[in-house]
Amino acid sequence: MTGQLRETDMYAPLAAFLRQEGYTVHAEVLGTDIAARRGEELLLVEMKLRFNLDVLLQAVSKQGAADKTCIAISSSSGKRPQKWSAVKDILRRLGIGLFIVHFCPPLAPQVEEVLAAEDFRAVKIPRKKRKVRAGLIREMEGRPANFNTGGSVKKKIVTAYLVNSLRVAVLLRKNQKRAGEPPARGGKSRPGLKAEKTGASPGLSPQKLRELGAPQNCGSILYNNFHGWFERLGTGSYALGATGKAALREYRDVIKSLERFTAKSNKPKKES
């Protein structure tokens, strides 16, 4: 049965287990399968169906950037991996935790914490690792919800930058004047390139978009046009191109989640 399993099958039970432990869970954060926070604590988990050198090296490379680093493997037979005592010994020496996700149909998958990870918060973190840690936390905080599945391969990852780009695209679609929409070539416009004059209605400026609720970095998002979604109509004036409109259709589920999150955040709190 192990051959039928995929790493992505391990994500849901692991995420549920960690949430029960009080963590906020995100998948595929800067190359890490699972990144989870509980208060100021940062936990990273690398997943593999079987224990091997690759997952061990991945976990070691993440140590120092996180407070705790773990490996998660699967089991469908109830048997331990080969050389089990040696595996536990090396992980214990390295301070790396170990989860096993047991798949025993028709029962639901069960997560077993075999080894607790050593807490590295008391260890002086190298400057390079501090930068990695800051990047991980910044990326997690930039994602209002988790839109990915840990262990995904060759799939588009919904990053914080993509989320902010979608927020800008949605605002352009909603607030751009309808009369004579600007041309939508859909290609990736170069910074400084003006669209042809066709009597199109004015676009929106970064300042106006920020007033409407766009992220603070919307100016750089529009200028760099990383995804090729936006059209520059003139100095400080932007509109949504054909590629951007297609992206709104592709990511409609993400947009719905963002709208629910925004509505929930803006909902006035009841006075106690």
Q: Give the pLDDT of residue 77.
A: 76
Q: Give the pLDDT of residue 267.
A: 65
Q: Give the pLDDT of residue 192.
A: 42
172-214 pLDDT tens trace: 999 875 434 444 454 454 444 444 444 444 689 999 999 999 9
For the chain, domains (ranges, CATH) are 2-141 (3.40.1350), 160-266 (no CATH)
Cβ proximity of 1 and 76 under 8 Å: yes
DSSP for 169-232, please give it. HHHHHHHS--TTPPP---S-PPTTPPPPPSSPPP-B-HHHHHHTT--TTHHHHHHH-TTS-EEE
Q: Global pTM?
A: 0.79
Exposure of 1 in the CB half-sphere (CA atoms within 13 A): 12
Q: Give the pLDDT of residue 193.
A: 43
Q: Give the pLDDT of residue 202.
A: 67
Q: Give the pLDDT of residue 190.
A: 45
Q: Point out the residues of the chain with pLDDT beneath 70.
A: 1-3, 122-124, 177-202, 265-272
Q: Give the pLDDT of residue 179.
A: 35
**Cβ-based burial of 247 (10 A; exposed 0-12, middle 13-18, buried ≥19):** buried
Q: Give the pLDDT of residue 148.
A: 93
And the tokens for 137? Answer: 């936390």
